[in-house]
A and B are shown apart, each in its own frame.
Chain A
Amino acid sequence: MIGPPTHWSVAQTVDRIRRGVVSALEVTEAHLARIESRQHLNAFISTTPDEARTTAASIDAARAGGESLGPLAGVPIAIKDNILVSGVPCTCGSRILRGWMPPYEATVTERLRRAGAVIVGKANCDEFAMGSSTENSAYGPSRNPHDPTRIPGGSSGGSAVAVADFQSMAALGSDTGGSVRQPAGHCGIVGLKPTYGAVSRWGLVAFASSLDQIGVFGRTVADTKSVFDVIRGHDPHDSTSMLLPPERPIPERLTVGMPRECFGDGLDADVRTAVKGAADALRQAGHSIVEVSLPHSQYTIAAYYIICTAEASSNLARYDGVKYGHRTDTVDDLFSMYRRTRAEGFGAEVKRRILLGTYVLSAGYYEAYYGTAQKVRARIAGDFARAFETVDCLLTPTSPTVAFRLGEKVDDPLAMYLSDIYTTSINLAGLPGVSVPCGTSSAGLPIGAQIIGRPFEEHIILATAEVIERTTSLVGKQGA
């Protein structure tokens, strides 16, 4: 008995479609039905059933015609709604972009389509990817499938829910300070944030350009890797995307570092236990665990929020009501049009960050804030570089706590920001990181462990995550 297609792995699905055990259309229909019946979790802002059926049918036709199928043929995928799919509205979870139809396609979605993936919809997210709970979406919050009174994490919460709840087999998100890894941890799935420059940002609506990276959600490490392999690589449209260097062979015996700063105050006891369990699993598999230090960790959140808000204030200036998106109805003159358009179109968190960013860049404060934050950023990157002189990768918790309840932190932005305390430094340093399930809390909520690697060593952190996955996998345990 092979169970419903929604619960298959990517490899199983592609294999069965290739062999004709199942049609791509059947796989698609199963997922569309699941999406339809699970709307209370609000995983999607918009769905694309017609296009999905057309794509699936064309894959079936190609197979019938004897053509070879791509590596993701017939795999239903959700795309975070800040990544452009040509001809499908892109909102970024914001009122200001409601109804905006992008006239072009992101490089990642183009690569997914070429590989045969079936895009089923645009996943819900915090507005412009700003948030850690997906409560900042103008289209309502998403809900955690393990406990619908709880948040799924953010900002790629909709993508995480879609995958964890079997509404799509994999999903793309974006990770600026943990927005793929943290919701993956909270939803009990795998979330990969690649090295900065490993995946093209062409078609990803910018939040903080020097930190943003498109990431992948999968229910297993293998699923995650198969999607990453399709989207990675240099893109002439993105100057910061890199030619991938040759891969270092995966060491038989890994040296895994545990930064002592990540296991101090503020870490939930259940999370601590689960991550230590992941370390034990690695040890039992013959790898060695050593303690390391990242001495500038305490400055991470401060530096991160200065840099990301500074860049956000600039990136979001284009939403002025002149060329596309929402425009206010009441216009006196140009400047009042800008003001009212932005006042009506942006939510509270976005406004907060624009104001912060504008302030830290303003004349007289630039050096004190932005200049200092850049120096701290260099120190943090230096901490990692030193650690990687002796270890192959690092192991930390993904988040200090399990998923909190909806509304619990919305009025306390600082508390919300702290839920990204273990993930943001990886974006500042441009490193790859993956969150892999490593256990559950006493209340049965998922806990994620984060593996951090050297630049362009995604294969090594994924292999490490796989070891943990083998002992603590939650696959099949979440809500039916």
Chain B
Amino acid sequence: MTSKQRYEPVIGLEVHAQLLTDSKIFCGCRSAYGGVANAQTCPVCLGLPGALPVLNRRAVEYATRTILAVGGRVNPLSIFARKNYFYPDLPKGYQISQYDRPLGAGGTIAITEDGNGISIGLIRIHVEEDAGKSFHPENAGDEDTTLVDMNRCGVPLIEIVSRPDIRSPRQAGLYLTRLRQILEYLEVCSGNMEEGALRCDANVSVRPVGESAFGTRTEVKNMNSIRGVERALAFEIERQTRLLQSGGTVVQETLLWDEKAQTAHPMRSKEESSDYRYFPEPDLLPLRIAPEWIESVRASLPEMPEARARRLVQQYGITTYDASVLTDTRALAEYYEATVRHFADGKKAANWIMTEVLRVIKERGIGIGDFPVKPEALAELLGMVEAGTISGKMAKDIFERMVASGQRASEIVKSEGLEQLSDDGVLIAVIDAVIADNPGQLAKYKAGRAQLLGFFVGETMKRTQGRANPQRVNELLRERLGAPGG
């Protein structure tokens, strides 16, 4: 073969999402992130001899919500299984997971790439428990020291396994973004990849374009951001393509992504365990789910992002683009709609939120939930602009102070006397003083330099510290100065 063959990637993703239940999946321990190491543990999640798991109903409800939201089927009978392997983070020596009878099957995640809708199929969604965490502290004095924190043991997870329908790192990124958005809307997962609340492993292979059979795949692990996933996939696709183009063969193995070095390297073979010896978990009864229960969960599903965006366009007359930005997270959409409840102009509210609010959030690296200006307060500010109480320019300054202090706009305006000056008597006195103090400019204006009107407006605004109503200042100045050249 002389010409280099072209290859396309085939990607399937396995995503682990941590469910936002208050307690763990098989015991009553708190499942919150962080906390003093090993403080959130009990005989069950530590796997002490004699302890038995009892399934958390809420975890099943959250998993069911997710399955229904992506159009999957909830199996009326699913079975928990033991996945056996040795690891210091895994106190029982096995993980309770689901194997051949998972809770959910099928469903799709819809993504949009360059305006084209693409549907990524799902194979399964199953429920399982998380393992603990090992730390290798660098300054423990002993380089072999390993510390284990079992707080995460037993935190409920769902694993969402896609079909190998993804064809580029970018699509993988869009899929993850979409999935994270759906989980956020369902309020079942925080989506925080740095805290490990959303973790992704990728199966990737390449094949000659036009070929329908899959090539040998590798599994890439250890990516902790969506960009990391995209970079790791790009790296691995490039590696496999070069290997095949140079006449080599891909070896099926598990690779760990090294974000610092931007490379993936094979896991040490010792860490790889291929035979999990699954068998049904005898300590838990098969999970039977009544159809009525499934329907009650379905009825409680929130409006999902696409539907909400369509409704916002219709209801508030905003553009499709604006609607897609404002529905990016459920919390942002709630924020927008709460604002509009108190300030009727949906377009103005949308503009303000998309420019000012999102800018501050981005600068501060916070979520909308932590944004100090609540929707009613923002609506009040917008209402004051609308009523002419303050100018649009003044509003931006006041907004910054609201963000900094948490005060209401009306409080700031009142305590600092920032109301717009619209009283003609006050304005005329200022204008006359400005004219009297600038005879040279007045003469030039009279001589025909019409653009000097702006100078007089500026001086007037300065002397009122920006409080003068600029529109009225313009009108009054024209009256007092008369026509230029006249």
Contact with A along B32-66 (1 / 0, CB 8 A): 00000000000100111111111100000000000
Do B51 and A202 touch (CB < 8 A)? Answer: yes
**Bound complex: CA of A51 vs CA of B272, how far in Å?**
48
| Majority secondary structure, A binding face | loop
Question: Does B148 have its Cβ within 8 Å of any Cβ on chain A?
Answer: yes
Contact with B along A220-244 (1 / 0, CB 8 A): 0000000000000000111110000
Question: Does A201 have its Cβ within 8 Å of any Cβ on chain B?
Answer: yes
Which residue of chain A lies nearest to B26 when distances are taken between CB atoms in the complex? Answer: A239
Give the Cβ gap from A174 to chain B, nearest Cβ, in Å.
Answer: 11
Question: Does A210 have its Cβ within 8 Å of any Cβ on chain B?
Answer: yes
Which residues of the other chain, A, contact B47 by a CB distance below 8 angstroms?
A: 318
CB contact under 8 A between A318 and B283, given known A238-B52, A361-B277: no
Do A102 and B279 touch (CB < 8 A)? Answer: no
Contact with B along A305-323 (1 / 0, CB 8 A): 0000011011011101011
Do A205 and B52 touch (CB < 8 A)? Answer: no
Which residues of the other chain, B, contact A92 by a CB distance below 8 angstroms?
A: 49
Question: Does A149 have its Cβ within 8 Å of any Cβ on chain B?
Answer: no
Question: Does A478 have its Cβ within 8 Å of any Cβ on chain B?
Answer: no
Do B279 and A203 touch (CB < 8 A)? Answer: no
**Bound complex: CA of A258 vs CA of B270, how far in Å?**
55
Among B55, B84, B146: residue with most chain A CB under 10 A: B84
**Bound complex: CA of A362 vs CA of B273, how far in Å?**
12
Which residues of the other chain, A, contact B94 by a CB distance below 8 angstroms?
A: 314, 317
Which residue of chain B lies nearest to A202 when distances are taken between CB atoms in the complex? Answer: B52
Question: Does B92 have its Cβ within 8 Å of any Cβ on chain A?
Answer: yes
Which residues of the other chain, A, contact B86 by a CB distance below 8 angstroms?
A: 317, 320, 335, 338
Do B279 and A361 touch (CB < 8 A)? Answer: yes
CB contact under 8 A between A323 and B46, given known A335-B270, A361-B279: yes
Do A239 and B285 touch (CB < 8 A)? Answer: yes
Among A314, A358, A362: residue with most chain B CB under 10 A: A314
**Bound complex: CA of A208 vs CA of B286, how far in Å?**
17
**Bound complex: CA of A321 vs CA of B417, how far in Å?**
72
Question: Does A17 have its Cβ within 8 Å of any Cβ on chain B?
Answer: no
Question: Does B275 have its Cβ within 8 Å of any Cβ on chain A?
Answer: yes
| Majority secondary structure, B binding face | loop
CB contact under 8 A between A334 and B88, given known A202-B51, A239-B283, A318-B49: yes
Question: Does B282 have its Cβ within 8 Å of any Cβ on chain A?
Answer: yes
Which residue of B48, B50, B84 contacts A317 across the interface (Cβ within 8 Å)? Answer: B84
Do A209 and B282 touch (CB < 8 A)? Answer: yes
CB contact under 8 A between A311 and B55, given known A102-B50, A204-B50, A318-B47: no
Give the Cβ gap from B414 to chain A, nearest Cβ, in Å.
Answer: 59
**Bound complex: CA of A304 vs CA of B54, how far in Å?**
26
Give the Cβ gap from A79 to chain B, nearest Cβ, in Å.
Answer: 12
Q: List 28 A-B contacts (CB under 8 A).
A: A83-B50, A97-B49, A104-B51, A202-B50, A203-B50, A204-B50, A205-B49, A206-B50, A206-B283, A209-B282, A209-B283, A210-B282, A237-B52, A239-B53, A239-B54, A239-B285, A314-B84, A314-B93, A314-B279, A316-B93, A318-B49, A318-B92, A318-B93, A320-B93, A338-B86, A358-B277, A361-B278, A366-B277
Other A-B pairs beyond A90-B50, A314-B84, A334-B88, 14, CB < 8 Å:
A106-B50, A202-B52, A203-B51, A205-B49, A205-B50, A206-B49, A237-B52, A237-B54, A240-B52, A320-B93, A322-B88, A335-B270, A361-B279, A370-B279
